[in-house]
């Protein structure tokens, strides 16, 4: 069995075993179908037998992939919350990137992932309230880490003088909101790729936070000094 909180942490340590591509595909389909059923029928009302019937496999075939619906939900939490939070941690740890670049990269990667996962992210966000307690803590911890990433980028950006003095928590939620909302309106048939949408959203977010450039202040000082020099010139000549 490849999933569940146990394998989630195995994966965090980079220990995921190579898998058969066809098996991987069926596994992903199972997750997608289960997510749709959890959303439409409710998590508690959906059984493994319903999922097997929907995908057109025997129950035993389904059990080959997942031993319970809890495990399917755990795979969803892993893909939609744990993995993204680990990826953002890597970005935070990259010392070659400025806070602005970290924010840009986090936003674009998040949007691309979300818009490439079909309706899964949207279904998952609606399932939120149905996640049972034992999985809920992993889910909440991952979400908290995603939030902390954005607060940290914004705080560091303010400290570096790149961003203006804005309340970092509200700003983080604003940025997360723009990014998460993409899965509510994106259509794979639309004119733009997930990457293009990610770039536009990241630009709006970063420009929305950017500090007025210091150039203005030094230009003002130069004008002041020019004025003094013209006064001096006048005194000398006339």
Question: Which residues sit at the interface with a second copy, rule CB under 8 A?
Answer: 39-40, 42, 126, 129, 166-167, 170-171, 173-182, 184-185, 192, 197, 200-201, 203-210, 219, 237
Smallest distance from the beta carbon of 26 to a second copy, in angstroms?
Answer: 27
Please identify, using beta-carbon distances, which residue of 16 and 164 lies nearer to a second copy: 164
Smallest distance from the beta carbon of 9 to a second copy, in angstroms?
Answer: 27
Please identify, using beta-carbon distances, which residue of 118 and 208 lies nearer to a second copy: 208
Q: Are 173 and 111 in contact (CB under 8 A)?
A: no
Smallest distance from the beta carbon of 109 to a second copy, in angstroms?
Answer: 17
Smallest distance from the beta carbon of 111 to a second copy, in angstroms?
Answer: 11
Smallest distance from the beta carbon of 207 to a second copy, in angstroms?
Answer: 5
**From its phi and psi, is residue 225 left (phi > 0), alpha (psi between -120 and 50) or beta?**
alpha
Please identify, using beta-carbon distances, which residue of 31 and 179 lies nearer to a second copy: 179
Contacts of 196 (CB under 8 A, 6+ apart): none
Query: Residue 210 forms beta bridges with which residues?
Result: 163
Determine phi and psi for 119, rounding to 5 degrees: -85, 5
Please give the angle made by the CA atoms of 73, 77 and 79, to the nearest 5 degrees.
115
- What is the rounded radius of gyration, in angstroms, for the C-alpha atoms of the chain? 25
* Structure token digits, residue 47: 């059984």
Smallest distance from the beta carbon of 49 to a second copy, in angstroms?
Answer: 21
Please identify, using beta-carbon distances, which residue of 16 and 210 lies nearer to a second copy: 210
Please identify, using beta-carbon distances, which residue of 25 and 219 lies nearer to a second copy: 219
Q: Which of 36, 121, 19, 34 shows the shortest CA–CA distance to 70? A: 34
Please identify, using beta-carbon distances, which residue of 2 and 125 lies nearer to a second copy: 125
DSSP 31-50: HHHHHHHHHHH-TTT--HHH
CA 163 to chain centre: 21
3-state DSSP call for residue 57?
coil
């Amino acid at each position: 069995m490849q999933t569940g909180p146990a394998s989630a942490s195995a994966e965090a340590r980079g220990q995921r075993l190579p898998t058969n591509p066809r098996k991987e595909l069926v596994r992903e389909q199972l997750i997608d179908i289960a997510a749709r059923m959890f959303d439409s029928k409710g998590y508690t009302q959906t059984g493994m037998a319903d999922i097997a019937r929907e995908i057109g496999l025997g129950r035993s075939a389904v059990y080959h992939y997942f031993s319970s619906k809890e495990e399917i939900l755990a795979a969803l939490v892993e893909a939609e919350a744990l993995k993204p939070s680990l990826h953002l941690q890597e970005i935070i740890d990259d010392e070659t990137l400025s806070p602005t670049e970290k924010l840009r990269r986090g936003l674009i990667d998040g949007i691309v992932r979300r818009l490439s996962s079909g309706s899964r992210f949207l279904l998952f966000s609606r399932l939120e309230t149905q996640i049972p307690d034992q999985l809920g803590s992993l889910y909440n911890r991952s979400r908290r880490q995603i939030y902390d990433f954005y607060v940290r980028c914004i705080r560091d950006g303010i400290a570096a003088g790149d961003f203006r003095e804005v309340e970092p928590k509200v700003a983080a939620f604003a940025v997360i909101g723009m990014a998460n909302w993409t899965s509510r309106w994106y259509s794979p048939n639309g004119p733009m790729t997930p990457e293009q949408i990610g770039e536009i959203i990241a630009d709006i977010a970063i420009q929305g936070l950017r500090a007025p450039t210091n150039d203005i202040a030094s230009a003002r000082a130069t004008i002041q000094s020019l004025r003094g020099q013209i006064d001096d010139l006048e005194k000398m000549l006339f």
